[in-house]
Chain A
């Protein structure tokens, strides 16, 4: 009986350690340090008429990477010369101050990149967004509803997800199309 208890305790310990270590082992699973600005995707989608993903992620239809917006993309709408007492300044809150602090420094906003494609995979945003005309939500369904920035990479992406869609859309499933 004592032996059984010992085994149960030991296996329990192993499971707990594995669960604790799992985020460290899988890069896209572990949470990252908080983003410099608590960006609210949903607020922007709701408040700004006609805004789309491309308005900020400006390289999605041109390059392999979608692009993390620089502070100047924010300044296109959030006037850095505006005063907090301005009538429309409340739209800038509560992160207005943080953004304005970056306006005064020479540095850009140090966003943390949260999604990484594996080294052996070639993924082109342009190929999917501009050429195949796939909606961003197809792969990033959770983003329009996010009220806080992503602190980890989306874990839904795997080769099965890619292949399923490629087969449905009759896109290439040739190995070298993605692995090179």
Chain B
């Protein structure tokens, strides 16, 4: 069984946010209406966070694409009172929307703040509402949603592999963000496969994980020269 993981090279990332846009289009993320952003209630499953490092005159702008870390020990799963979120066999932290009661314990428990509560019913401007991705559901108001590593793409790729009576090839299943990255700063694959690009990059000298000391064992690995 594969253990899916992502590697993001922060030295290559230009902060263009193509990953964020690709994610929104792929996963039917609604367009925030008036006032939603003012309340801080707009969200994107993959946000590119920017922060300034150092002090003038030696300042550096840093960019950090922040998807769900799909932790091997996810704190969000432990706190869910209704079992609406769980860690799948392949290491993907899934969210079952019709089980979610919207208590938001998980959004509080997540140290990476990558779980988002739907404060509003999803709305799209007219032409966009007809071009939603049929493979992904439209989440109703009142549930928590999050990055799924584009799990529906895995299902589709696996279907095709089974249809052609072969096993899944590496690189056949990649999330929309990785596919869209113009700087080729993102990789995706099986972390348990020693031959895969991600597992080799994950053991590189530059590799680190966010808030490693918490013991959540995230499966999104960042690369940066320190």
Contacts and interface: CB of A to CB of B under 8 A. Distances in A.
Contact of A122 (B88, B137, B163): B137
Interface in A123-180: 124, 126-127, 130-132, 174-177, 179-180
A160 to B, nearest CB: 16
Contact of A120 (B97, B155, B162): B97
A29 to B, nearest CB: 20
A64 interface: yes
Contacts of B98: 120, 179
Contacts of A81: none
Contacts, number: 44
Given A64-B134, A174-B88, A179-B98, A126 B152 contact: no
Contacts of A179: 96-98
A119 B148 CA distance: 18
A126 B95 CA distance: 24
Q: Chain A interface: which size bin? A: 10 to 19
Given A122-B135, A122-B137, A180 B89 contact: no
B117 interface: no
A177 B88 CA distance: 10
B136 interface: yes
Interface in B62-107: 86, 88-90, 92, 94-98
Secondary structure dominating the interface of B? loop
Candidate in A122, A177, A179, A180 with the most chain B CB atoms within 10 angstroms: A180
Given A64-B134, A131-B159, A175 B152 contact: no
Given A127-B159, A180-B136, A122 B96 contact: no
Contact of A176 (B92, B134, B163): B92
Contact of B162 (A64, A124, A131, A175): A131
A180 B137 contact: yes
A130 B156 CA distance: 13
B151 A175 contact: no
Nearest to A118: B98
B159 A176 contact: no
Contacts of B90: 174
Contacts of A124: 159
What are the 3 closest A-B residue pairs judged by CB atoms, nearest first? Answer: A176-B94, A120-B98, A131-B163
Interface of B: 86, 88-90, 92, 94-98, 134-137, 148, 151-152, 155, 159, 162-163
29 contacts: A64-B134, A64-B135, A119-B137, A120-B137, A122-B152, A127-B155, A127-B159, A131-B159, A131-B162, A132-B162, A174-B88, A174-B89, A174-B94, A175-B88, A175-B94, A175-B96, A176-B88, A176-B94, A176-B95, A176-B148, A176-B151, A177-B155, A179-B96, A179-B97, A179-B98, A180-B136, A180-B137, A180-B148, A180-B152
Given A122-B152, A176-B148, 12 more contacts: A64-B134, A120-B97, A122-B135, A122-B137, A124-B159, A130-B163, A132-B162, A174-B90, A174-B94, A179-B97, A179-B98, A180-B151
